[in-house]
Amino acid sequence: MATPVLALPGRGRKRAGLPAALRAKRRREGLAALGFLSPWLLGFSVFFAYPLLAAVYFSFYYYDQFNAPVWVGLKNWDYILFNFPDFVTGLQNTLWLVVVMVTLQTVFGLGVAMLITKIKRGGNIFRTLFYLPYLAPPVISTLVFVYLFDAGGPINAILAHVGVHNPPGWFNSPTWFKPSLTLLSLWGIGNTVVIFFASLLDVPKEQMEAAMLDGAGPVKRFRFVTLPAIQPVILFSVVTGVIYTMQYYTQAIVAGEVASGHVATAGTTLDIGYPLGSSLTVPQLIYQQGILNANTGPACVLSILLFVMTMLFTLILLRRKNGLVGGD
C-alpha cells in the first residue's frame, strides 16, 4: 500500500543537479507531509483498503454472519453473474438512469443556470428557491414526491382539474417509476446548477462580444462560444453524474417501499424493486443480500462489481489533463 512507500520521499531515483540544501528541504517537507498524512493513510488502509480486500476474501465464502464462514469457491460469483436475474435488472435500471436521468440533469441544470444569468432583479430569491430542494434530505424529498404523485394525491387532482382523467400510475407503474424518480432528481438539481452557473460566468466576455459583432445569433453564440468554454465542466458533471447514478440508493429504495404500501415494519418483508423490479439498483441488492438476508458472499461479489464499475468512470477524473488530480 501507499503507506510504507511514502515514508521515504526522494529515494530510489537519482536527483542529480539538486543542491544539497534543496534536497534537505525536500526531505524535511516529505517527512512533514508524511506526518500530516499518516492519520488519513491509516484511515484509508482500515476503512477502504481492508474492506476491499476482505470483500474479495468473503466473495469465496458462504458466511451467514453467525456461524463460521465456509469456503465455496466460485459459487457466489457464478450465482451473481449467471443465475441472479435481479442483477441484470439492476444493471438495466442503472443504464436507463444513466442515459435518461443524467442527460436530463445536465440539460436541465444548464438551462436553469443560463436562466439565472439572465435574471437581474429578484435573482437572489430565485437562486435560493432552486438550491433549497438540493438540501432537503433525500428521504424527505422522496416521501414528498411519493405523496404528491400518489393516485389520490395532489398532482393527479390538479391533472383532473385540467382535464387529464387518465393519469399514469407514477410510482406504482413499472413504466413510470423511473420517469417519476427522474422528476425528483431534477427537483434536486441545485448543486449542478451552481456549478454550471459559476462556469457560465467564466465564459470570456471578449469572445462573446466578438461573436455578437460578427452577427452570431444566440444559438450560434451558445454553440461556438459558451459550449466550448464550459465543455470541461459539462464532461465533469456528466462523469460524476454517472458515478453517483451507479450508487443510486436512497430515493429508489424509499420510493419503492413507500409506494408499495408495504413499508418494512414489523411483520413485513422488505420487498425491494417495487413495482416489478423497476426500482432495483445494484446498491440495493448489496443491502438486500448482505444485510437483510445476511448472505455475505453474494453481497461481496456485488460490491466488487460495483467497485469496478465505479473505478472505470473514476479513471476519467484521474486524467492528468483536466482531471481532478492535477499534475505531479
Partner 1 sequence: MAAVMSPPVTRHAGINRTARSAARRRRALEWIAVHSLAIVAAVFFAGPFFFLVVTSVMPDNQALSGALWPSHWQWSNFRSVWDRAGFLTWYKNTLMYAIPVTVLTVVSSVPVAYALAKFKFRYRRLAMIVLVSAMMIPPQVTVMPMYILWTKQFGLGGTLWPLIVPTAFGDAYSIFLLRQFLLTVPKEYIDAAKVDGCGEIRTLLRVVVPMIRPAIAAVALFQFFYAWNDYFGPQVYVGANPGNWTLALGLETFHAAHHVDWNLMMAANLMVIAPIVVVFFFAQKVFVEGVTLTGVKG
Partner 2 sequence: MSHLRRMTGSAAAIAAVLTAAACAGSTAPAQQKITAVDPYPTSKPDVTINLWHGFSEGSENDAFNAMVASFEKAHPNIHVKVTGNITDTQIQQGIKAGGSQSPDVAVSFTTDDVGTYCSTGQWINLKQDLAAAQIDVAKTFPAPLINYTQYQGDQCALPLENDAYGLYYNKTFFQQAGVTDPPKTLSELQADALKLTQKNPDGSFKRIGFFPSFAYFEQVPGHFTSVFHLKWQTPTHNSLLASDPGFTAMLNWQKSFEDAILNQTPKSTAKQLTDFMNKSMGAGEFTAGQNPFETGAVAMSMDGEWRNANLKAETPNLSYGTAPFPVQDSDAASYGGGYVTGTVIGISSRSAHQDADWELVKYLTTNTDTLVAFANAIQNVPSTIAALASPQLTQNPNFQTFVKVSGNPNSATTPASPNGGQYQQTAQTWIATWEAGQVSNLPSALSALDTQIDKDTNAGVRPSGS
Please give the residue ranges that form the binding site for partner 2 (CB under 8 A): 1, 3-5, 49-50, 53-54, 57-58, 61-70, 72, 75-76, 79, 83-85, 150-153, 166, 169, 172-173, 261-271, 273, 275-277, 291-295, 297-298
Q: Decide which of partner 2, partner 1, none touches 22; Cβ closer than 5 to 8 Å per partner kind.
A: none
| Min dist. Cβ of residue 117 to partner 1 (A) | 10
Helix axes 138-148, 177-187, angle to 10 degrees: 130
Part in contact with partner 1 (CB under 8 A); list of ranges 70-78, 79-87, 173-181, 259-267: 259-267
Q: Which does 204 bind (CB under 5 to 8 A by kind): partner 1, partner 2, none?
A: none
CA-to-CA distance for 305 and 87, rounded, in angstroms? 10
How far apart, in whole angstroms, are the C-alpha atoms of residue 281 and residue 303? 12
Residues 6 or more apart whose Cβ sits within 8 Å of residue 286? 299, 302, 303, 306
CB 105 within 8 A of CB 192: yes
Answer yes or no whether residue 20 interacts with partner 1 by CB under 8 A.
no
Distance between CA atoms of residues 297 and 19, nearest Å: 55
Which range, of 77-85, 95-103, 145-153, 173-181, touches partner 1 by CB under 8 A? 145-153
Q: Residue 211 carries which side chain, given as an amino acid letter?
A: A
3-state DSSP helix/strand/coil % of the chain, to nearest 5: 70, 0, 30
Selected from 70, 95, 154, 164, the binder of partner 1 by CB under 8 A is 154
User: Does 145 participate in binding partner 1 (rule CB under 8 A)?
Assistant: yes
Name the residue nearer to partner 2 (CB basis): 261 or 326. Answer: 261
Tell me which residue of 287, 280, 269, 270 sits closest to 177, measured CA to CA. Answer: 280
Q: Binding to partner 1 by residue 327, rule CB under 8 A?
A: yes
Closest of 42, 76, 45 to residue 61, by C-alpha? 76
Q: Report the C-alpha gap between 138 and 134 in whole angstroms.
A: 9
Of the residues 76, 185, 237, 288, which one makes contact with partner 1 according to CB under 8 A: 237
Q: How far is the CB of 146 from partner 1 (least distance, A)?
A: 10
What, of partner 2, partner 1, none, does residue 90 touch, CB below 5 to 8 Å by kind?
none
**Residue burial 160-175, b: 16+ Cβ < 10 Å; e: rest:** eeeeeeebbbbbbbee
CB nearer partner 2, residue 188 or residue 297: 297
Which of 79, 126, 222, 224 is the binder for partner 1 (CB under 8 A)?
126
| Cβ atoms 10, 27 nearer than 8 A | yes
In the list partner 1, partner 2, none, the entry touching 273 (Cβ below 5 to 8 angstroms by class) is partner 2
Total residues contacting partner 1 (rule CB under 8 A)?
A: 112
Cell digits of residue 10 = 526522494
For the window 187-226, what string marks contact with partner 1 as x by the rule CB under 8 A? x---xx-xx--x----------------x-----------
